[in-house]
A and B are shown apart, each in its own frame.
Chain A
């Protein structure tokens, strides 16, 4: 028999080579069941997230009476100097806070990881505990300690010339409070990364003649780069959206986007303008988040491959 003659019914059928497909009715039933599981969480998500978002967007294109106005409100708000100032302040404070957190956090994490001292575990726990505090606690404490009528100024008042410090109710106060509150977000991932650096790498670096600083710069920090970038991105995002700290700092001159939304919606009842700023804030947050995710993916992918 020639090869051409060896033709079985199965080989001749169009389904040759495919795995046997499940029966159609079974597949349909599976899909319905999957949909049944998906609907409740989707409904909850829509109720608490999508609908309010849609409502916010809708508010931004309607007037106070709910009549559709198109992009008129957007044009008005986007053209205002107040918005540009708030946007600039928001980004500036977020940048300063992130830089401060990265510097302080790296310093703390390096110390806690590589400089053994009694009580280091307790120090780590205390740092972690800061995250569990409400964010406004820190500016409140800053105000009590370093505010115009705070403990420090009261003490200084007795000195000749009555020197005083006055930074709490302005950008420096906000930045300091944010650094204090967000630094644990940098320390924790760095501690995890530093804990995974093989001791051999540090030993070999030392044996090759590198001092602690060179080892930090050439071995430790490169290993921590993904975690550092990720935590910096997270802190920037959180600082950009921070409201409680600025509110409790009492810094009238510090108007960030969240503060502007608060003013427009609660103080002046300009809900369409507040909605426009909220949409802008949302878009900004999503953009930063997208960049953050891309950065994390790229860096962690590189480090995984290197591992």
Chain B
């Protein structure tokens, strides 16, 4: 996390009122000709990004993340709201007057200009003296390790090299803000990993530059961003540090999109169902805290309202006992401090990541307390196996299935096997039920597919 993000992870203004590098105030973008009543491309987005901070806008296609970036760059005119750069209102100003560095998905190098001329483009637009342009171009090319390619045309470069040039060109004008619109999406997997490391290195070399990074790939966001904004249907669903969003997702969509959580609907059990272990049937090694499904009330402390303990992840989050619609019950912690179980009528969703689900031994003592299901598919993923498991004894209820990532060297069941699944204690998180993400619900497969959509 950069120093700027360490200063403020919540977006509040610090530094004695020093303006943010980028600030969006209730910005909406509605494309001309879009029928009334249609969801705007970007709706009511408010966001502050400090100098030196990297914010990733993460979301599936059509979520509005690129539109947000274009609104900052001036490529799209907001229909409502205000865009401020370093405290200056630039809402109606053209891109040329904003002084931002922009790297787009396909790099957009000028095909007829040589590498050096591409990098010099912005400097020449600013009518800098030739000697200054030459020196700055050399400096930028050296920074991205492309000094030996200065005389080449873009078509003579690989995708990764073109990307380096696009970054050098954007940084040549010494912008205070660098906007990156899916800069790695056009690269193959290996190149993407290399360039991600390169971007992390560059990030370190530019401590005062604010970066806004648009991606649909959660791993890029987790690796690069100080804060992540999760977007969906043109709206900012969640905003927080990678750790916050990953371990304490406040919304079902965030849990599903960032880490591909399984979403299991359930109901918070009424008074008297207090327990303290976090979950029953949690680990294949039965020595871990496992309480019985039926006799889980071990502390016996009664409360008014839903059952709750203080033993969530790290012991800080309130933990509730949840009866799942798919059968069984789990102890799940609440990630959002503002969450009020009573406001949901008890109906909530439990988010569990695939790696937090474990197979319970077939004849073990924990078998009685886990989630039962039938293996629908087994997928080898190199480091381990991924199972899709239809919950229920018969497995016929295909609408309710979960994805399980097996630990390395774990025994791999076969398709059609009846298995019992437990949840690692503290890994189940309560999020408000969101019926609008039915496609992701209780099926982590689509959720993780959504992460790469």
A interface, CB within 8 angstroms of B: 198, 200-201, 203-211, 214, 218-219, 222-223, 225, 303, 305-307
Known: A206-B96, A208-B122, A211-B125. 5 other contacts (CB 8 A): A203-B95, A211-B96, A305-B155, A306-B154, A307-B155
Interfacial chain A residues near B101, Cβ < 8 Å = 207
Interfacial chain B residues near A222, Cβ < 8 Å = 110, 112
Q: Are A306 and B153 in contact (CB under 8 A)?
A: yes
Q: CA–CA, A209 to B133, complex, Å? A: 14
Q: Are B99 and A203 in contact (CB under 8 A)?
A: no
Q: Binding site of B, secondary structure by majority: helix, strand, loop or mixed?
A: loop
Residue of B nearest to A209 (CB): B125
Interfacial chain A residues near B70, Cβ < 8 Å = 203
- For B89-128 the 0/1 string (1 means CB < 8 A from A) is 0000011101111101110101111000000011001100
Q: CA–CA, A206 to B154, complex, Å? A: 19
Q: Are B73 and A207 in contact (CB under 8 A)?
A: yes
Residue of A nearest to B95 (CB): A206
Q: CA–CA, A223 to B102, complex, Å? A: 21
Q: CA–CA, A203 to B110, complex, Å? A: 12
Q: Are A205 and B112 in contact (CB under 8 A)?
A: no
Interfacial chain B residues near A206, Cβ < 8 Å = 74-75, 94-96
CB of B108 to closest CB in A, whole Å: 4
Q: Are B108 and A306 in contact (CB under 8 A)?
A: no
Q: Are B125 and A208 in contact (CB under 8 A)?
A: yes
Residue of B nearest to A305 (CB): B155
- A203 touches which of B108, B113, B169 (Cβ 8 Å): B108
B421 in contact (CB, < 8 A):
no
Q: A207-B96, A207-B100, A208-B121 are in contact. Are A198 and B108 (CB under 8 A)?
A: yes
Residue of A nearest to B104 (CB): A200
Q: CA–CA, A306 to B155, complex, Å? A: 6
Q: CA–CA, A171 to B155, complex, Å? A: 46
B138 in contact (CB, < 8 A):
no
Q: A207-B95, A208-B173 are in contact. Are A306 and B112 (CB under 8 A)?
A: yes
Interfacial chain B residues near A214, Cβ < 8 Å = 125
Residue of B nearest to A210 (CB): B125
CB of A302 to closest CB in B, whole Å: 9
Of the candidates B94, B125, B170, the one having the most CB atoms from chain A within 10 angstroms of its own CB is: B125
Q: CA–CA, A210 to B74, complex, Å? A: 13
Residue of A nearest to B108 (CB): A200
Of the candidates B95, B102, B126, B170, the one having the most CB atoms from chain A within 10 angstroms of its own CB is: B95
Q: CA–CA, A206 to B70, complex, Å? A: 12
- For B184-214 the 0/1 string (1 means CB < 8 A from A) is 0000000000000000000000000000000
Residue of B nearest to A198 (CB): B108
Interfacial chain B residues near A204, Cβ < 8 Å = 102, 104, 108, 169
Interfacial chain A residues near B102, Cβ < 8 Å = 203-204, 207
Q: A208-B122, A306-B153 are in contact. Are A200 and B95 (CB under 8 A)?
A: no
CB of B171 to closest CB in A, whole Å: 11
CB of B149 to closest CB in A, whole Å: 16
CB of A143 to closest CB in B, whole Å: 44
What are 23 A-to-B residue pairs whose CB atoms are below 8 Å?
Answer: A200-B105, A200-B106, A201-B108, A201-B110, A203-B70, A203-B73, A203-B102, A204-B102, A204-B104, A205-B121, A206-B75, A207-B73, A207-B75, A207-B100, A208-B125, A208-B169, A208-B173, A209-B96, A211-B125, A222-B110, A223-B111, A225-B112, A303-B111
